[in-house]
């Protein structure tokens, strides 16, 4: 009980990797979930972590991963529900149905399956309770041009967060969401060269180090369970968000 535990999905790169390393450095027990075992081991490096290769869109693999956590540690204190994907921007009629199904499988079904498994474990464990932190997006509030699939999926994540925040109260489970804008990584690699704006312009956008996101998730996770941060936005200061539209 002295060492707290977290399971991080999408831990093989980007935000997931940076967050995992922040929690390892802070002395947490960390479980890493992702499709590629080699990437998860690169995240852990020389540090001890529970490596759980799994596809979050597969119910059996999700249940097996959370079952390993329960078997190894006996409890789970925090889920960082982080795994997600995006598509190249395009009008809705130019988006292949297969691409939508792939994105919604990760960003919606995967989020649901991992939240479901974590909620069940946290509800049954003793002492009861825990925290679920969903990775949303600024697009959950203000969409980019040509972002229908991603924006739809992140609005769904917001609905998940709000519903779990209510349902979790009786089981000592808190649920919050981090909405991230322009953290440097693979998904934002082209932002500095120009991104389409709502007025039709192409404009370079600033990025922020991903470490700031990791530190924010660590802060959210470290709060006592009678305190919740339902939504937090962290962004590169000068990105077009408040003025987007």
> If you average pLDDT over every residue of the chain, what do you get?
93
pLDDT at 244: 64
Task: Encode pLDDT of 92-114 as tens digits.
Answer: 999 999 999 999 999 999 999 99
DSSP-based helix, strand, coil % in the chain, nearest 5: 45, 20, 35
pLDDT at 89 over 80: yes
pLDDT at 155: 97
Predicted confidence band of residue 238 (pLDDT cuts 50, 70, 90): confident
Predicted confidence band of residue 240 (pLDDT cuts 50, 70, 90): confident
| Extended beta strands in 24-172, E state | 29-34, 50-53, 78-81, 130-135
Cα–Cα distances in angstroms (integers) from residue 31 to residues 12, 19, 64, in the given order? 11, 11, 13
pLDDT at 116: 98
Please identify every residue annotated as catalytic: 150
pLDDT at 74 over 70: yes
Task: Encode pLDDT of 140-198 as tens digits.
Answer: 888 888 899 999 999 999 999 999 999 999 999 999 999 998 887 777 767 767 777 77
State how far the Cα of 120 lies from the Cα of 138, in Å rounded to an integer.
29
pLDDT at 144: 84
User: In terms of DSSP bridges, do strands 50-53 and 29-34 run parallel, antiparallel, or are they unpaired?
Assistant: parallel
Task: Encode pLDDT of 6-51 as tens digits.
Answer: 999 999 999 999 999 999 999 999 999 999 999 999 999 999 999 9
State how far the Cα of 102 lies from the Cα of 94, in Å rounded to an integer.
15
pLDDT at 211: 96
Mean pLDDT of 121-149: 94
pLDDT at 100: 98
pLDDT at 189: 64
Window from 122-131, 163-172, 194-203 with minimum mean pLDDT: 194-203
User: In terms of DSSP bridges, do strands 5-9 and 173-181 run parallel, antiparallel, or are they unpaired?
Assistant: unpaired
State how far the Cα of 53 lies from the Cα of 71, in Å rounded to an integer.
16
Share of the chain above pLDDT 70, in %: 98
């Amino acid at each position: 009980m002295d060492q707290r535990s977290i399971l991080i999905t999408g831990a093989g790169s980007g935000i997931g990797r940076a967050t995992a390393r922040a929690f390892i450095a802070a002395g947490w027990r960390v479980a890493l979930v992702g499709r590629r075992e080699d990437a998860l081991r690169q995240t852990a490096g020389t540090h001890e972590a529970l490596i759980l290769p799994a596809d979050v869109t597969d119910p059996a693999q999700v249940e097996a991963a959370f079952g390993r956590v329960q078997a190894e540690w006996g409890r789970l204190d925090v889920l960082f529900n982080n795994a997600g994907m995006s598509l190249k921007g395009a009008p809705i009629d130019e988006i292949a149905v297969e691409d939508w199904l792939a994105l919604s499988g990760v960003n919606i079904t995967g989020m649901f399956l991992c939240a479901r498994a974590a909620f069940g474990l946290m509800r049954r464990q003793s002492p009861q309770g825990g925290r679920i932190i969903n990775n949303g997006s600024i697009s959950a509030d203000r969409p980019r041009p040509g972002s229908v699939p991603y924006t739809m999926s992140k609005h769904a994540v917001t609905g998940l967060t709000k519903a779990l925040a209510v349902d979790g109260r009786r089981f000592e489970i808190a649920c919050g969401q981090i909405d991230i804008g322009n953290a440097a990584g693979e998904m934002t690699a082209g932002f500095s060269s120009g991104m389409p704006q709502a007025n039709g312009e192409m404009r370079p956008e600033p990025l922020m180090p991903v470490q700031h996101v990791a530190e924010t998730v660590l802060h959210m996770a470290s709060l006592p369970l009678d305190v919740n941060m339902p939504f937090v936005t962290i962004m590169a200061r000068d990105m077009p968000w408040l003025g987007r539209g």
